Structure 1
Amino acid sequence: MSLVKEHIVQSVDTAISVLMEVAKHPDIRLSEIARSLTETKPRILRMLRTLEHRGMVQKSPKGGFRLGNAILVLGTAASTQVDLVRIASPIMEDVGQKVNETVQLRIIDNSEALCIAKFEPSRDLRVHAMIGRRRPLHAGSSKVLLAFLPPQVQQQMFPGQLDRFTPRTITHPVRLAAQLQTIRNAGYCISRGEVSEQLVSVAVPVLAFDGSAVAALNIAAPAFRTQESDLQRFVALLRDASKQISTGLGW
């Protein structure tokens, strides 16, 4: 327990406690928060002003505090991600059973592609997936996540350095930008040996209720047993699966 406490930033911990008080008691006043948390009013006021600056809380007409608009964004994102795995898992398993290959669901997290759900077939030779594993956005089928971002956000997500993993990895920004546009026009991404020369993968975007791409659904397979006709079948299956997931998310 002491080891955990050593890593806690007290001011952040207090700010979260303040936020939770506002969440539980809309229009709560400064003095009430300070009393509930046994903190001084000046300290709580600093926390509230910081949270207000970031849109997490706002002053209410009654003189108290309530949640701000930024919390709606966080809430929607959290709800979408939780629903995403719940809705996607059986659909991913269905796709995986049909192709007898590995299926993964990835989201953007800290400018990387993060695996949040997977299905692996029982066959001995297969692509091994790991929930929590990160991949670069500029290489492999994870490029589909980058391709469907709004242009201004896409530019912000461009890595400062495009690392090379195989001879097929695109490391020139202009070439990458052109391929992202091609992927966006096509509605899917096929990657042949960009992260590992032995693998091919196909990915499509998953859309949220507002039409934004919240995740990428992909099939990864060993290159030696994957023909061009297989890749086109993967695209069709993934598009149908993505549509099912997106519908479940309210799109």
Structure 2
Amino acid sequence: MEKSTQPEAVSSVLKVFNILQALSEQKEIGVSELSQRLMMSKATTYRFLQTMKMLGYISQEGETDKYALTLKLFELGAKALEYVDLIDIADKEMREISNLTNETVHLGALDESAIIYLHKIDSSYNLRMHSRVGRRNPLYSTAIGKVLLSGKTHAEAMETLQPVEFIQHTDKTHRNAQQLMAEVHTVACQHYGEDNEEQEPGLRCIAAPIYDRFGHIIASVSVSFPTIRFDIERKPAYVKMLQDAGRNISEKLGYHDYPVPSESQS
């Protein structure tokens, strides 16, 4: 028999998905039956099942050897669908901000202990922020990151920041979590965040929160300016523009209690 050249890691991933597939086709299944169906040894099957159980993707029926899927995969799928809807909904609002400012507009969300850009509208100027969809940036030096942290309790935020190394991108970058959290508290009160040349010299960003239907901050929309084009007197207008966009997106996601009143309500 020819020895497989497939890397062991890839083989393990295939085993995991084969188990998930089998469990999706039957409400509950025992180790012996599963190992026979997948042509895996009983010991290997049991080891995989126990690991997946520990991670919360499957459950064991009492003291029996029967296993079943949990709702964790459904939750993951629901989050993915939420982001697809979010990008479609946010696009219109982001383009409006882009048209009004001619600057780079981003949509970002939390990805473990960093932010990830989900969508981007480029600036019409040659001098612009260099970024791309799918790129990760730190929480501690970005306006989006501070907004995302502001939706967490202090304990949750500190846990998120626990593995983060605070790299000094500029002399204005926060040096530690305690220093950052002092600003995050302000962000939570004012409902917008700023990056004042903390990620990149000569670049300023402002961001506002986006809420899901349960009132949780799930994303943030931002606009980025080279400092030479940032008009400090227009900052209140920029903030309102972003908060209006955040409110409109949040309402389309099912949340109608955006913390900052619209002009018509104030």
Partner of 2:9: 8
What letter is aligned with 1:156?
Answer: E
Moved more, 53-62 or 80-89: 53-62
Number of aligned residue pairs: 248
State the secondary structure of the residue aligned to 2:137. Answer: strand
Structure 1: 5+ residue runs without aligned partners? none
Partner Cα distance (1:136, 1:83) in 2: 25
Q: Is contact 2:210–2:221 with CA below 8 Å preserved after alignment?
A: yes
Distance 1:132 1:51 in 2: 27
Identical pairs, percent: 27
Partner of residue 184, structure 1: 188
Whether 1:242 and 2:243 are equivalent positions in the alignment is no
**Pair 1:173–1:34, CA change in 2 (3 A):** closer
Counterpart residue type for residue 230 of structure 2? T
Instruction: Kindly report which structure 2 residues correspond to 1:1-251, keeping only aligned pairs within 5 A, or say none.
Output: 5-6=6-7, 8-59=9-60, 64-141=66-143, 142-158=145-161, 160-251=164-255
**TM-score, normalising length from structure 2?**
0.82
Distance 2:84 2:42 in 1: 36
Letter in 2 for 1:25: Q
How far does residue 7 in structure 1 lie from its aligned partner after superposition?
6.8
Q: In the alignment, is the contact (CA less than 8 A) between 2:206 and 2:222 conserved in 1?
A: yes
Retained in 1: the 8 A contact 2:98–2:104?
yes
Amino acid aligned to 2:168: R
Kept in 2, the 8 Å contact 1:207–1:246? The answer is yes
Q: C-alpha distance in 2, partners of 1:160/1:107?
A: 17
Q: Structure 2 CA distance, aligned partners of 1:250 and 1:26?
A: 33
Which 10-residue stretch deviates more, 156-165 or 219-228? 156-165
**CA, structure 1 residues 20+231, in 2 after alignment: closer, same or farther (shift >3 Å)?**
farther
Distance in 1 (alpha carbons) for counterparts of 2:246 and 2:22: 38
Contact map agreement 2:113 2:164 (CA 8 A) in 1: no
Tell me, in whole angstroms, the C-alpha distance in 2 between the residues paired with 1:237 and 1:51. Answer: 45
Runs (5+) with no aligned partner, structure 2: 256-266
Question: Structure 1 pair 223/6, CA: closer, same or farther in 2 (3 Å)?
Answer: same
CA gap of 1:209–1:31, structure 2 versus 1, over 3 A, is: farther
Distance 1:60 1:209, change over 3 A: farther
Q: Give the alignment's Cα RMSD to 1 decimal.
A: 2.5
1:226 Cα deviation from its structure 2 partner: 1.4
Contact 1:27 1:65 in 2 (8 A): yes
